[in-house]
Structure 1
Amino acid sequence: MKTRRQGNAIVLTIPAKFGIEENIDYVAVKGEDESITFIKKQSNLFKEAFENNQEIEVGEGFPEDSAGRELM
């Protein structure tokens, strides 16, 4: 793969053989050795629940009311 300039951006085309769908958001991280790693952004379940006026169900291992007992 080779970078190219497109306007004010440097573009790196991802070959189709990787099977990456379009319109997916990624976070780019540049390593100390000049490598670039792309990490798929995950949805924020707290933001989605808030926007949809939903409550988040806690899983097993969480007490019914943990207020005041965070440092067990």
Structure 2
Amino acid sequence: MKRHQEDMNELLLDDIYESKDPAVKQYVFQILDEEMDKAHERAAIRVAQKFKHLLSPQMQQALATQYPVTALAASA
């Protein structure tokens, strides 16, 4: 079902997602997989930041060095 909302200035990607072109479908799934990997890593780091007191001092230092809180907030 196609929606049209020209007056709402909303980007609708139905024409891409509903494409029958195998190259389009392959690329969409590839990008979704890549983005999900990034999202899972971001989520794990956010959990580690919240509960860093449960980590060993060495892991707390590694967390602070590799994933500063300000950098994580900017990537969210």
Q: TM-score, normalised by structure 1?
A: 0.25
Greater C-alpha Rg: 1
- Greater helix proportion: 2
Return the TM-score normalized by structure 2. 0.24
More strand by share: 1
